[in-house]
Amino acid sequence: MAKHILSIRDFSAAEIVRFVRLTGDLKRGKAGRKMCLAGKSVALIFDKSSTRTRLAFDVACEKLGAHSITNSGANLQIGRGETLEDSGRIFSLYVDAVAWRTSGQDRLERFAHASRVPVINMLSDQEHPCQILADLFTIREKLGGSAWPSVAFIGDCGNNVAHSWLLAAARLGIDFRMACPRGHEPDPVIRKNAEEEAWRTGAKLMVTRDPKEASAGAGVLYTDVWVSMGQEGEKKKRLATFKGYQINSSLLSVAASGAMVMHCLPAHRGEEISAEVLDGHNSVVFDQAHNRLYNAMASLIWVLKGGKI
């Protein structure tokens, strides 16, 4: 059976740690990685705009010796009514892996269920596992050790990045706080799943309306855009709703000394984060972006070579 990366839930806690270690090995240029996917073909499908993800996977394929085939979903028969199941079978006849950036999580899961080759979730409306795996590596790279810092996610806690962070925190036993306006909490099913796992792992999960409560003593302050792709028509309303949830110097002052500031980008300076903090010495935002490349390399090796180089 093909090994997919569709959700953080596809990884055990031990596998997350191993994946993070693999990412570090790749970034440090561990011998044996070059061209280890020579002869492999990887289909990259983009139904949504992309900068970091597109660059990361294209360059990852080149560095590992694989051939990438990039398509827009609108240019494929999958965008003209061919069933997801049929498309999954067809892609399996031509390529060794598929990475897809799309809308519904169910689309990925139906496609992957029919596919005989691995499928990687480059982003769905529900989850963004590659981003969070790269974030976890960034934290480990900066802090070292084996303990995870407390993380405060400020803003829209019902988006894909927040969902994958919540699931990862529950699995790893992380103290994870979320601050959001009413109506922008995490999906109830994902929240229930995370809370049930937290009972087993000792993770502390909090959802509050108060960004200062969430940020108090936190080792990481994290945010994402308030107006995601497809929500542009709601911009005025959403900006008003999220007023007061900006990561700025005032919020940073209540976090732990030396707290890291993270953002998955693109950033809207002056909205969810102030320019002063985004460009400040606490920010590791562009290190995060750089590490998406090594995450993409690790993801391809994980599904195509069982994580071995």
- Catalytic residue, candidates 131, 156, 175, 180: 131
- Catalytic residue, candidates 4, 33, 52, 128: 128
Residue with tokens 């006849």: 93
- Catalytic residue, candidates 175, 187, 264, 288: 264
- Catalytic residue, candidates 4, 33, 101, 263: 101
Beta sheet of 97-101, edge-to-edge order: 67-72, 41-46, 97-101, 119-123
- Catalytic residue, candidates 107, 171, 184, 292: 292
| 3-state DSSP assignment of residue 71 | strand
Please report which residue ranges of the chain form alpha helices under DSSP H.
13-27, 52-64, 84-94, 105-114, 129-143, 160-172, 188-201, 211-215, 235-241, 249-252, 275-278, 285-305
* 130 is a catalytic site residue: no
Q: Is there a contact between 220 and 178 (Cβ–Cβ < 8 Å)?
A: no
Round to whole Å and give the CA distance between 118 and 307.
Answer: 13
* 126 is a catalytic site residue: no
Round to whole Å and give the CA distance between 132 and 292.
Answer: 10
Pairing mode of beta strands 67-72, 41-46? parallel
* 101 is a catalytic site residue: yes
Q: Which DSSP string do the residues of 172-229 spell out, in sequence order? A: HT-EEEEE--TT-PPPHHHHHHHHHHHHHH--EEEEES-HHHHHTT-SEEEE--SS-T
* 231 is a catalytic site residue: no
| 3-state DSSP assignment of residue 65 | coil
Neighbour tally for 55: CB within 10 Å = 14
- Catalytic residue, candidates 25, 47, 187, 224: 224
Round to whole Å and give the CA distance between 124 and 84.
Answer: 15
* 77 is a catalytic site residue: no
Known catalytic residues are 101, 128, 131, 224, 264, 292
